[in-house]
Amino acid sequence: MKQIIFLVTVLITSLTWAQDKNAKASIEVDGVCVMCKERIEKAAIRTKGVKSAVWAVDTHELKLIYDARKTDVSAISKKVAAVGHDTKGIKATEAQYNSVHPCCRYRDEAVQKDHEVENKGQDNR
């Protein structure tokens, strides 16, 4: 009986240690500009357990390093959606989306076109 209890204890301990304290993930997050970048990264980094969050304007990829014992991609996605940015898994509510600056309204085709023209102008410099 003592051996069984010991084995169960070892198994539970092993599973706890198996969770990665430096897990890496990448999620797609909608946005169009540097203001979006700041907002997205700030929301992600403020999630308990997130160690690094870097969002690329051109690819819409949010690269994360986080402690899997404290958080997961779903929780991080919820925090990002809460500040108005859609992820593949979680869409921001209309109220959350409408809270972003008018130039950051990535669902608006006119805003997307403005940022495309702006980015092409920067590439030619």
Looking at residue 73, its amino acid is: V
Residue 46 to residue 52: CA distance in whole angstroms: 10
For the cut 50, the answer to whether the pLDDT of residue 125 exceeds it is no
pTM across the whole model: 0.78
pLDDT recorded at residue 112: 85
Query: Which domains does the chain carry?
Result: 20-123 (3.30.70.100)
CB 55 within 8 A of CB 27: no
Q: Please tell me the predicted confidence (pLDDT) of residue 63.
A: 98
Is residue 61 predicted with pLDDT exceeding 70? yes
Report pLDDT digits (tens) over 64-73.
999 999 999 9
